[in-house]
């Protein structure tokens, strides 16, 4: 069964990294909108072509919607036409972490925020997009917040 409990329960903290942000489930529920909570904390997926940023070309830095950690920049964003914001690399190694995800009958690599362990999306490889890495970080808009140079 694909219950949220199966997909979002990880108790072990990553080794060798800064102490990750720890918040209780009720704190997250309070701070996030229901849609943000569903995606970020229950590894949900927003519907394609409905998110705020799938077609955005604005220059800026994409932060984690849950904790504000800087995750991606507009320089690595590209038009994948898949309906979600797509990046060919994270802002830096260590800003995101990877988990094997075998839910939904697929073998995928889940991408989470390294700081707060929130679900961001998935990363796919070797699809032939012609980007420098041939990777596609397929990220939910609702997991991100774009901060433009004027705002920061
Ligand atoms: Zn975060």
CA dist., res. 117 & res. 138, Å (int) = 17
Q: For the whole model, what pTM was predicted?
A: 0.84
- Main-chain phi, psi angles of 102, to 5 degrees: -110, 20
> What's the whole-number mean pLDDT along residues 96-114?
94
- Main-chain phi, psi angles of 75, to 5 degrees: -65, -30
pLDDT band at residue 104, thresholds of 50, 70 and 90? confident
Q: Ligand 1 centre and the CA of 149: distance in Å?
A: 20
Report the SS3 class of residue 146: strand
Q: Ligand 1 centre and the CA of 65: distance in Å?
A: 7
User: Which residue among the candidates 67, 113, 116, 138 is catalytic per the annotation?
Assistant: 138
Say if residues 84 and 121 touch (Cβ distance below 8 Å): yes
Per-residue confidence (pLDDT) for residue 13, from 0 to 100: 45
Q: Ligand 1 centre and the CA of 36: distance in Å?
A: 12
Please, is 131 exposed, middle or buried when counting C-beta atoms within 10 Å of its C-beta (0-12, 13-18, 19+)? middle
Domain spans in the chain, listed from the N-terminal domain onward: 21-147
Q: Evaluate if residue 140 carries a pLDDT over 50.
A: yes
Q: Evaluate if residue 121 carries a pLDDT over 50.
A: yes
Q: Ligand 1 centre and the CA of 12: distance in Å?
A: 17
Beta 119-125 vs 135-139: how paired, if at all?
Answer: antiparallel
Please, is 102 exposed, middle or buried when counting C-beta atoms within 10 Å of its C-beta (0-12, 13-18, 19+)? exposed
The proportion of the chain whose per-residue pLDDT surpasses 90, expressed as a percent, equals 80
Catalytic residue list contains 138: yes
Report the SS3 class of residue 55: coil
- Say which CATH topology domain 21-147 has: 2.170.150
Model pLDDT for residues 44-94, shown as the tens digit of each residue = 999 999 999 999 999 999 999 999 999 999 999 999 999 999 999 999 999
Q: Evaluate if residue 7 carries a pLDDT over 90.
A: no
């Amino acid at each position: 069964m694909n219950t949220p409990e199966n997909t979002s329960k990880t108790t072990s903290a990553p080794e060798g990294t800064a102490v990750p942000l720890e918040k209780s489930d009720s704190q997250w529920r309070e701070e996030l909108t229901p849609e943000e909570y569903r995606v970020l904390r229950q590894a949900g997926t927003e519907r394609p072509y409905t998110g705020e940023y799938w077609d955005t070309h604005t220059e800026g830095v994409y932060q984690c919607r849950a904790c504000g950690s800087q995750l991606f920049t507009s320089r690595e964003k590209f038009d994948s036409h898949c309906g979600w914001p797509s990046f060919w690399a994270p802002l830096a190694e260590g800003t995101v972490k990877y988990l094997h995800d075998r839910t939904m009958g697929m073998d995928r690599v889940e991408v989470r925020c390294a700081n707060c362990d929130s679900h961001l999306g998935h990363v796919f490889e070797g699809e032939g997009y012609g980007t420098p890495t041939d990777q596609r970080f397929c990220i939910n808009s609702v997991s991100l917040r774009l901060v433009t140079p004027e705002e920061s």
